[in-house]
Amino acid sequence: MTNLRRRVFALFTIATVLFCTAVGAWQLHRLEWKRGLIAERAAAAAASPIAPPQTLAEARLLEFRRVVAEGVFLHDRELFLNASGPNGGAGFDVLTPLRETGGRIVFVNRGFVLTALRDRAKRPSSQPAGAVQVTGRLRLPPDKKPGWFLPDNNPERNYWFWIDLPAMAAAAGVAAGVTPGVSEVAPFHIEADTAATPGGWPRSRVTSQPLSNDHLQYAITWFSFAGAALIIFVLSQRQTKAAKRDLG
């Protein structure tokens, strides 16, 4: 191996070790972040449900907290969010406007339905009439389209790929200041538990399954890559020195 090739190989090894070590350290940071997130969500899920917040500032402090809202479902204004079922079946999450007593609209994600059950007439038992209580997790919508890979929402076809509450309110005909009896639209939505899905459909997304936390394994993998790069470099240097001695 020439001097130039040895230098290039050494620089490549240094860069590889630094990169892999940095990613491994970042994964350790993510490990602690995920542990904190899991603990936070577990505490929120274990707490007694509270009344929904009234402002966005309050809602930001309560994401994943269990809330209980009271009102009337507007089943004829259902919206459909593209989703996959627990076993990979194609379908939608059903978002139904809930009109609270004071006139505010809170969108409720009542859970998943198969594509064949999109028509409300095929699941009549899933549409409770009159005043209801809905318990579930408070969720905040994204500030903008979550990623370039997602298709655009299609309000005309009632086909949604991400939650855009102002656009959804307009499409469902429940926009504040436009729809009689509607005072405002809440800046959050609720993921309902199973009590809000009589008849088995829609199937609630709320689950006690904890978040996965694989960051320790990821960190070990990246540190292993760094160690392997060092071992390969050391062995190559030994072989080079041995070859020189044989030639000398």
Verify cis geometry, omega within 30 degrees of 0, for the bond prior to 187. no
pLDDT digits (tens, 9 = 90+) for 183-229: 788 999 999 887 555 566 788 776 645 557 777 888 889 888 888 88
Residue 121 has pLDDT above 70, yes or no: yes
**Domain edges within the chain:** 3-41+214-247, 47-196
What is the band of 156 on the pLDDT scale with cuts at 50, 70, 90?
very high
Q: With a threshold of 0.85, does the pTM exceed it?
A: no
In the numeric block, the tokens 């070859």 are attached to 243
- End-to-end Cα distance, the chain: 15
H runs (alpha helix) in 82-177 = 165-172
